[in-house]
Amino acid sequence: MVNLTIDGRPVQVPEGTTILEAARQADIHIPHLCYLKGINEIAACRVCCVEVEGERAMVTACNN
């Protein structure tokens, strides 16, 4: 299990879970357009970009 904090809320998810899926489990909405699990996970629209502590640039929540 991986422990993380999203908008000040602690979240625990299995390893390999995307940020978008982790946020959804915590009832935190991250807007997205192109994400369809198992069909289209290419992060093309960039709508779901989020700030990750320690990263120098925003990352897409749907495939990170």
The 10s digit of each residue's pLDDT in 41-55 is 678 888 899 999 999
Percent residues over pLDDT 70 in the chain: 89
Residue 6 token pair:
């999203």
- For tokens 């625990």, the residue is 12
Q: Which CATH class, in words, describes the domain spanning 2-60? A: alpha beta
CA distance readout (Å), 59 to 19, 27, 40, 53: 10, 20, 17, 11
28-39 mean pLDDT: 80
State residue 32's pLDDT score.
87
Burial class (CB in 10 A: 0-12, 13-18, 19+), 53: exposed
Question: What are the structural domain ranges in the chain?
Answer: 2-60
* Rounded-to-integer distance, Cα 56 and Cα 9, Å: 22
